[in-house]
Amino acid sequence: MFTENMDGPEGEEHVHLGAKIMGLLFGQWWADFTLRHSRYWAKRNGVSVSKLCYADKLAFAMTPGWLYLPMARATGELAEYMEKSRDRQAGCVAFTESERIQLESGHPAQWLEGLQSYTRRWVEEHQGGGPDTWTVVANSNAAG
């Protein structure tokens, strides 16, 4: 939230601001629920994701390209997101061959289609609360 690098160290810590706000307004349970909406944060901290994570991921996966791509361009984050997803998928065996091709295409619409496909599959696989073996977290002892 309000960071120039949403997928870097600053962005991955955005959960703290949201959690602080929710905690002040609604208490510790909501602060924790908000913290755990990030699968990277949850995995790095050895906790399960909250149900908010699934809603957050599905919101991205369901947003049509004609809406998502201009928003990501307007914030200046599209190129960063495309690069970061290529970096993350390099260490992840969970992407299908089709998704890899789309992510590496360099074309925003194809990239989005591949990442949305992966994201939908991630939610379907993990919404029951099982261990997240897909998410790769740098500098973590967690498997993935």
User: Residues 82-121: pLDDT tens digits?
Assistant: 998 877 766 678 999 999 999 999 999 999 999 999 999 9
Q: Output the CA–CA distances (angstroms, integers) from residue 82 to 96, 103, 142, in the order listed.
A: 17, 7, 24
What is residue 140's predicted lDDT score, i.e. its pLDDT? 46
- pLDDT, one tens digit per residue, over 15-74 is 999 999 999 999 999 999 999 999 989 999 999 999 999 999 999 999 999 999 999 999
Tokens of 52: 């908010």
Indicate the residue type of 83: E
Element (H, E) at 86: helix 78-90
Average pLDDT score over residue span 1-16: 59
- Residue 10's pLDDT band, with cuts at 50, 70 and 90, is low
**Residue 56 CA to its chain's centroid (Å):** 8
What is residue 7's predicted lDDT score, i.e. its pLDDT? 47
Element (H, E) at 42: helix 39-44
Domain positions in the chain are: 1-49, 54-130
What is residue 73's predicted lDDT score, i.e. its pLDDT? 96
What is the rounded CA–CA span in Å between residue 42 and residue 130?
13
Q: Is residue 122's pLDDT more than 90?
A: yes
Q: Is residue 1's pLDDT more than 80?
A: no
What is residue 87's predicted lDDT score, i.e. its pLDDT? 77
What is the rounded CA–CA span in Å between residue 87 and residue 109?
18
